[in-house]
Amino acid sequence: MSTYGVPGGGPVVHDPMTLPSDDNVNNYTFCVELKGSQWFLQKGKMIAYYGSIDFNGIGHGRLDRLVRTSFHSPLHASDWVVAEGSGKMLLADRAFDVNSYDLDDGNLTIRSGNLLAFQPSLSLKQSIVPGFLTLIGTGKFVAASNGPVVFMEPPIRVDPQALVGWADCPSPCHHYDHGYMAGVMGGLRALTGLGGVSGEEHQFEFVGAGTVLLQSSETLMAEQATGAVPHEPGVPGGGGAPGGHGPQAGAPRLPGQLGDLQRRFGL
């Protein structure tokens, strides 16, 4: 990762020659070099480019083959474009920290709003966990985070809002702080919200071998719709509207809360 500019050094001026190739320009900008190759990128994340680069929405006939091999989330395709041509392209997202990651025949699941761009050698799929996308294969991708990303080894429990993604972990699951929810006082708290909540009754738990990616603040990035999954039995999130069930859908529903009643009455 590049460092912040030297204080008092003035702005750094780049030209097509000095711009890095497939690397960070600074903490907030990433430069992609295209040599007749293609990159997938989320709409609106390109801030500038040198050279001749075409941006095509996915769904054009010409890109059908590419989409077939590396984009497996058809209903989500309208949020992505394919850049092709030759030149250098700068990516950024609202001054969030941007970083690139290399996958070597690996897999990584990431919150849909955090993914900015990826090489077509990776294939993008919707994760079983709603609101997350999984990248499988070999290649480079670019992701944004609020504050630098911290890598942690499981076993670890993570605040839902601080989770950016995970690699290789077989067991992302919910963890509820039972001690706090149990008992008369716990029930009262859950029902009324009186006595305060610590905001930490619910975490995501990861065990096993792998890496968990955390962002250093609890401010989420805007969620990107991941497309709908088919309405089939056994498909998580298949019954509801897309995005409605995501871990980002506000506070987790705790036992005894009024939300349960509402659901029971079909409201």
Partner 1 sequence: MPFREINSKMIEATVAPGQRLFSQRGAMLAYRGEVSFTPNTQGGQGGLVSMIGRRVANEATPLMTVEGSGTVLFGHGGHHVQVIALTGDTLYVEADRLLAFDGTLQQGTMFMGSQGGVMGMVRGQVTGQGLFTTTLKGHGSVAVMAHGGVIEVPITPQRPVHVDPQAYVAHHGDVRNKLSTALGWRDMVGRGSGEAFQLELSGSGVVYVQASEEKL
Residues that bind partner 1 (CB under 8 A): 146-148, 150, 152, 155-159, 162, 177, 179-180, 195-201, 203, 212, 214, 216-219
Q: Tell me how far CA of residue 200 lies from CA of 46, 187, 224, in angstroms.
A: 37, 16, 25
Q: Based on CB atoms, which residue is closest to partner 1, 26 or 121?
A: 26
Q: Give one DSSP letter per residue of the chain, joined into a string.
A: -PPPPPTTS-PPP--TTTSPSSEEEETTEEEEEEEEEEEEEETT-EEEEEEEEEEEETT-GGGHHHHHHHEE-GGGGGGEEEEEEEEEEEE--TT-EEEEEEEEEEEEEEEGGGEEEE-TTEEEEE-SSTTEEEEEEEEEEEEEESS-EEEEPSSEEE-GGGEEEEES-S--EEEE-HHHH-HHHHHHHHHH-TT---S-SEEEEE-SSSEEEEESSSPPPPP----PPP--TT-TTSSS-TTTTSTTSSSPPPTT-HHHHHHHTT-
Q: In the bound complex, what is the minimum distance in angstroms from residue 167's beta carbon to partner 1?
A: 16
Q: Whole-number minimum distance, CB 154 to partner 1, in Å?
A: 9
> Closest approach of Cβ 10 to partner 1, in Å?
18
Please say which residue, 160 or 238, places its beta carbon nearer to partner 1.
160
Cβ proximity of 128 and 149 under 8 Å: no
For partner 1, the closer CB: 199 or 255: 199
In the complex, least distance from residue 91 CB atom to partner 1, rounded to whole angstroms: 20
Residue nearer to partner 1 on the CB measure, 150 or 222: 150
CB of 207 to partner 1, least distance (A): 11
Nearer to partner 1, 36 or 196 (CB): 196
Half-sphere exposure of 183 (CA within 13 A, CB side): 6
Q: Which is nearer to partner 1, 87 or 147 (CB)?
A: 147
Smallest separation (angstroms) from partner 1 to the CB of 200:
4
Choice between 108 and 149, CB closer to partner 1: 149
Q: Give least dist CB 96 to partner 1, A.
A: 9
Closest residue by Cα to residue 219 from 169, 160, 267: 160
